[in-house]
Amino acid sequence: MTLETVGASFQGHTNLITGLGLSFDQTLLASASIDNTIKLWAFESRQLLASFDVQNIFGLVLSPNLRQLAYTIYTKDDNNICICDIPQKVLAQARNIARTKSNLDRLLHTTNIRHIYAAETSTYK
């Protein structure tokens, strides 16, 4: 059995990705890499919303309320868990992109149904 990729891949890290976190509402994806960055992405559009320099990052997780991000850092002598607030501007941007895509999908679906219905009703007349 083979997994098939859905949509475009997320591109932007320059080295091994060590952690991923997807928000429960599927609006935001967070990624960590040994390129020493945490990147925040709009999930549906794959758009990079923000990139933060974090030295020696290893893994990450999003809080259930999507207000904070916890990540681990590692060094030879130190291993820490750090918690930071996710910028509200980034969250608003991710939600706006998701809402816009949802509205567009709904509009396209409704328009297609109308065209199909119009085509079917004109055939029967």
Residue 113 pLDDT level (bands cut at 50, 70, 90): low
Residue 107 has pLDDT above 70, yes or no: no
- The pLDDT value recorded for residue 120 is 53
CA distance 79 to 50: 25
**Is residue 92 scored above 80 in pLDDT?**
yes
Residue with tokens 């949802």: 102
- pLDDT digits over 35-85, tens only? 999 999 999 899 999 999 999 998 999 999 889 999 999 888 888 999 999
* Burial group, residue 58, by CB count within 10 angstroms (0-12, 13-18, 19+): middle
* pLDDT tens-place string over residues 16-28: 999 999 998 889 9
